[in-house]
Structure 1
């Protein structure tokens, strides 16, 4: 059975029913009845009201015609009703089969993630989980949201995630992690408490909006607490504070700030102006990077005309008046003056080809 079959039945039944009514009205009119009497006769005949004939039906041919109208009209009406009932039943059956199938799939999961909440954060979270190939189950009380998720093939459970039976339906005893990303901090605390009581060793990651809730979530059993607001602010600050390659080349303050971050890893970013008479003119990026111990990388090249080449190719040629931004270990570079930093002697070894 499918929905198209029931709709087809309804269409066929309605077509026959309408045709029967029209033919019956025409037949009674031809028998000398008025249009209103003919319509009334057809309605009470087909729908079995049985108020009696409007006019006497004494002609045997008219009686046979009326019998045909009753049989055809009632049969088509029952056919339409049957298609309608079938359509409703099919929907319920499909819904029950879908729920059963989903329940079986959830029972077969192991090491999956349980996502409590299918709001803005929850949708983004499961999108990333799907991209990473992580299996997951979504719990939410909003059936409309879950219906949209289910149409995309997502395993869903409708209910309150703070209830033990709902978490058990989601397979918390087999799950590896639970993420509660509900918009209300109190609900996230309740979900965390319930999940920790049901499973002591499951990893729980909770969302919080208020900084003071973080301690409560940790005490409730959360292994990690994430604040989308703080993450968003950090990302914005990162975009503001972290320069692009172009700004590194142009902005001395940005250049210094990047070097401060690189100090932690024992690295340093060096800026070199290539003069027209420099020994490096005519050499390639490959020649420059391999002239030392291989620990030097050219990050960017700014041409004399202002063009900035990010991640230059090994075959790119160094020209006079170029500005090179290079990354290397701090010990591979030595200061020559207060404002000039030159490569170590290893880096200045003769290269092939060289343009003096």
Structure 2
């Protein structure tokens, strides 16, 4: 019994134990003093009487005779009953808290089991929140691991979002999650030592994981690289959005095409059909490496329809867009993010049926040379 009681007490929150001990001591002292001065018992008998009355045992060997003795005995017995009720309620409350926590944890684990192609974010600070927003804007599956409980509570969990309040390296949690179903791990806590340890933990058990880490200090970039990070981003150089692009780099496709502005919507329908996001459009002026870039960041077909409708009622905007396409000889590139390379293969197959594809994942230098040759050939 003693072992069981000790085990229960060690599992209880400190505040409950402290409050309970204070109450027990206060009632016990009241019982001893009352027994000594009111019941006129000696010290040993006072301790004995206070104990059996608080425990509501009452052997009957000491019976209160006067009115004040009866009032004292009644108050002490009621205090003992109240104490038992408090202890029981304390244990029940703790049990409910444990069960609620267990139930939530079980639901989260079940949600993770059912997830495919998810991203993991370690650390939900200023940079981590930007990465989180970039991913959720694209309806990606995201698992967030954050030690700060308040930050976790500020994020609404959805079917494709799981928030884990805890340490990423505790119980090898991150190593278990960064398996084959994980597209990328983004390590962006504010502490480089923590980031380094997380990267080492992941790489030790997941040699093929794609890891992008934040480096608060430039001198730690080499250390994180040696630890196994595929990409390291410093906020001194680039922000949270850059972390997203680096984390998605195995699943980013740059397609250089040639077509006029009238084919924009048909092309966009193909991109969204495959569940991909059009990140931006880059226009290549002949012979010039630097591109004119329009940020798009959408996978919603309704956005494409609104764009086409706007051009249909604003002739000046349509004319400006046509001029831009003509200036670039209708050559431009699309930066597209998607779930995997199999999807990209199917996407490229459909795009080739719709338009002329000049190249895939070409550098700006390669494209500039191609456009320069076209000018010379003309």
**Under TM normalisation by the shorter chain, which class is it?**
0.3 to 0.5
Compare CA radii of gyration and give the structure with the larger one: 1
Q: Which has the higher helix share?
A: 2
TM-score where L is the length of structure 2: 0.43
TM-score, normalising length from structure 1?
Answer: 0.45
Higher relative CO (Cα under 8 Å, sequence separation at least 6) belongs to 2
